[in-house]
Amino acid sequence: MTLEETADRIRSMEIRGAGRIARAAAKALLAHSQSGTYQDLKSYQERMMVASEMLAGVRPTAVSLPNAVNLISKPLSLAKTLDEAKSGLEERAQAFIIHSEQAVAKIGEIGARHIRDGDVVMTHCNSEAALQCILTAHQQGMDIEVYATEVRPRNQGHITIKTLSDAGIKTNFIVDSAARYFMKEVDLCITGADAITVNGAVINKIGTSQIALAAKEARVNFLVAAETYKFAPRTILGERILIEERSADEVLPDAARATLPHVTVRNPTFDVTPAEYVDLIITEHGEIPPGMAYIIIKEHLQWDMDNLCIDYP
Ligand code: RUB
């Protein structure tokens, strides 16, 4: 798959979910690097810089995407020779892909420790990190029941219930607006994240904050499963996470809108759940209260203040 094809598939949401987007970008950069012929360091740097910048901006909210791209493309600015830059970038791309897959598995193990036999768990959207916690607990023999939301307008809930059903997990499929209605039957909520700010706010699929609010009201724990590369380093500088607003047609077809001249459809894709609604964030390095997000950015992402990018230890 070419770089442009990957970008198109991310844009059209054929590839979606913050972790999968980041891995797809890593694979695209690796293939792009391997597919070219280069005269010198400069020509390699230029080609890969254009590719990195293009990929990093394809979807604006999932910080996993620029984090992955920055991490992988770091040798472009540091290397002294073409070989150093090319091998450095390709090694980093491969390392990121492996790290990402291992991180999801590790989060599953850690998250499963927070699920008890007989628990009823609510999840929202389709997060491989959140689902991994539920699947791991189920594989460990726990009897779990899930409430999974529909996730209008793109129906990611359909992917979630397929995964849960295939695993043999008893699942209730509910419309998004029924989350509070059913919260009294729920023991634990687990969602994923597209971005986590330095103050522990979680940006995830639209509707997540309503579920967190209902969970708090019902005194149900609200957990977020997120790899360290979902934490947003630049929020240290006060930078805000841009919330993607997608096409109106996803919510109301063009033909219907044409008959409603006074109606404007708003379609934000994500929302912000403040840290005080989040009990715990499960990362591949362990679980942290949201107030410790800074530690993840500083220690595990090794955020480099000068270069405004991240690096792994
Ligand atoms: C996906 C979404 C997911 C996070 C985390 O939104 O909000 O909860 O990306 O997913 P979209 P994961 O479908 O619009 O990309 O844990 O798989 O990274």
Q: Kindly name the residue from 40, 119, 189, 194 that is annotated as catalytic.
A: 194
Residue owning the nearest CA to atom 1 of ligand 1: 17
Site to probe by mutation for ligand 1, drawn from 104, 126, 163, 223 as the one with most ligand atoms within 8 Å of Cβ, is 126
- Please spell the DSSP secondary structure of 88-148, one letter per residue: HHHHHHHHHHHHHHHHHHHHHHHHHTT--TT-EEEE-S--HHHHHHHHHHHHTT---EEEE
> What domains does the chain contain, in order, with CATH numbers?
3-106 (1.20.120.420), 109-300 (3.40.50.10470)
Does the active-site annotation cover 309?
no
Structure token digits, residue 29: 């950069």
Cα separation, 230 vs 203, in Å, equals 10
63 lines ligand 1 (CB under 6 A): no
For residue 265, report the distance from its CA to the centre of ligand 1, in Å.
22
Rounded to the nearest angstrom, the distance between the alpha carbon of 35 and the centre of ligand 1 is: 30
Torsion of Cα atoms, 51 then 52 then 53 then 56, to 10°: 120
pLDDT for residue 313: 47
pLDDT at 35: 96
Query: How far is C-alpha 301 from the geometric centre of its chain's CA atoms?
Result: 16
User: How far does residue 44's CA lie from ligand 1's centre (Å)?
Assistant: 32
Q: Is the ipTM of this complex over 0.95?
A: yes
From CA 27, how far away is CA 6, in angstroms rounded?
9
Rg (CA), the chain: 20
Cβ atoms within 10 Å of 160's Cβ, excluding its own = 26
How much is the pLDDT for 128? Answer: 98
> Among the atoms of ligand 1, which is closest to the Cα of residue 22?
18
| Per-residue b or e along 33-49, where b marks 16 or more CB atoms closer than 10 Å to that residue's CB | beeeebeebeebbebbe
Per-residue pLDDT of the chain (313 residues; tens, 9 = 90+): 899 999 999 999 999 999 999 999 999 999 999 999 999 999 999 999 999 999 999 999 999 999 999 999 999 999 999 999 999 999 999 999 999 999 999 999 999 999 999 999 999 999 999 999 999 999 999 999 999 999 999 999 999 999 999 999 999 999 999 999 999 999 999 999 999 999 999 999 999 999 999 999 999 999 999 999 999 999 998 999 999 999 999 999 999 999 999 999 999 999 999 999 999 999 999 999 999 999 999 887 766 555 545 565 4
CA of 92 to the centre of ligand 1 (A): 23
Contact residues for 88 (Cβ-Cβ < 8 A; gap 6+): 74, 75, 78, 79
Kindly state the greatest CA–CA separation across the chain.
64
